[in-house]
Amino acid sequence: MSSSKDGRRVVITGTGVVTPIGLDVPEFWTSIKAGKCGVSELGGFPLEDLKILIAAQIKNFDHKARLRHFKRDKIIMHADRYSWFAAAAADEAVKQAGLEVPFVDPYRTACIVGSGAGGLVTFEKSYRDLFIENKRATHPLTLLRIIGSSAAAHVGIEFGVKGPTFATCSACSTATHAIGAARDYIKHGMVDVAIAGASESVINYGTMKAWQALHVLSPEGCFPFAKKRNGTVLGEGAGILVLESLEHAQARGAKILAELVGYGMTSDAKDMVNPDIEGPSEAMRLALEDAGLAPGDIDYLNAHGTATLINDRNETNAIKRVFGSYANKLPVSSTKSMHGHPLGAGGGIEAVACIKAMEEGILPPTIGLDEADAECDLDYVPNVARPKKLNYVMSNSFAFGGLNAVIVLGPPPA
């Protein structure tokens, strides 16, 4: 990864989300400002012997209504749920960007839409059909539904992307890696426009059993940095950005929402489950260096903040290592307290939250924070959104396997 000082400047002109607290960006941002909680009782499939009975599920999402205007992708209506979310979020982002569809210069565009797990809803349905219902075959589109790059392909087909089109997969850092890769492709002149982010839909019986076995899910709620926290809460959804070179955006008179000024990525290379301090710290340091910024230039940090005991303490200590004494003045919050942990989609959804925070000068809160852990002693913007002028913001994504990705966003170029 080379410095942002080399190559073209990269800006953001479109945002899109599908989340448990809002099916589009306006609804999502209204919920963030209000501190709305998207965690509720688990439902929609047989719960059988599950012990964890809560999740941040997306409800009332009608894919037929949301995607009925799609013209080029002939089978999107028959895709997996995670592809529906990606398609809906990408559609919102492309419309906000004001790009002509299909894209005018298709080989100069990219579509990098990742997923940590792909079509797990389809996997479970197919296995139930075969091994419980004793059906002789699965749906003919089963294979296409489960592939982790299907969302990227669906989006690319609909919008006419003929340049690099693929998925990233790095667990909970997936979306941020996708955004970073897209940034580099534009910066180095491979493409002029990119659709980037990630989508996830994994809430079913088998996934809940798997996460339950790892003992990292809370039976009560997602309370990042709180003394009472006892695990994370699974979420689902999609977060998508439209990125362009500054020159391309200016040439067509696009409204620029923000500039992607810094990107850093590292790997702990130590443990599959337990996070380290060195890896996240170095990823943040590299993102600052790439942006050409000092720690004191960051006005807000959107934390990975999963509400697991070790992650929140380690992230707090990593922030202190990078930001020094300024860490005590830096507002930090975790929006996962509201929309749950959407795994690979988290970095995309949180990037959108950061862009809206910059646009309106409002710090997203960390809800459910009645009493902080003694070892989590930063300003986590507890419970209530707070006004603050924001020039530069940082967003952290840290994943199982010690895979770390961090972006820094700045104001639209003058």
- Long-range CB pairs of 246-251 (<8 Å, 24+ gap) are 246/8, 246/9, 246/10, 246/11, 246/413, 247/8, 248/192, 248/193, 249/11, 249/13
Q: Determine contact, residues 84/150, Cβ cutoff 8 Å.
A: no
Instruction: Kindly report the number of other CB atoms within 10 A of residue 47's CB atom.
Output: 14
Give Cα separations from 53 to 40, 262, 299 (angstroms). Answer: 9, 39, 37
Name the catalytic one among 222, 304, 339, 354.
Answer: 304
Name the catalytic one among 111, 169, 172, 354.
Answer: 172
In the Cβ-directed half-sphere of 135, how many Cα atoms lie within 13 Å? 10
Does 304 participate in catalysis according to the annotation?
A: yes
Residue 410 DSSP SS3: strand
Residues 6+ apart with CB under 8 A from 184: 1, 2, 263
Q: How far apart are CA 154 and CA 156, in angstroms?
A: 5
Q: How far apart are CA 62 and CA 82, in angstroms?
A: 13
Q: Determine contact, residues 218/230, Cβ cutoff 8 Å.
A: yes
Q: Determine contact, residues 289/3, Cβ cutoff 8 Å.
A: yes
DSSP code string of 160-176: T--S-EE---BTBTHHH
Does 376 participate in catalysis according to the annotation?
A: no
Q: How far apart are CA 323 and CA 334, in angstroms?
A: 18
Question: At how many degrees (to 10) do helices 81-97 and 120-127 cross?
Answer: 160
Name the catalytic one among 177, 248, 341, 354.
Answer: 341
| Residues with catalytic function | 172, 304, 341
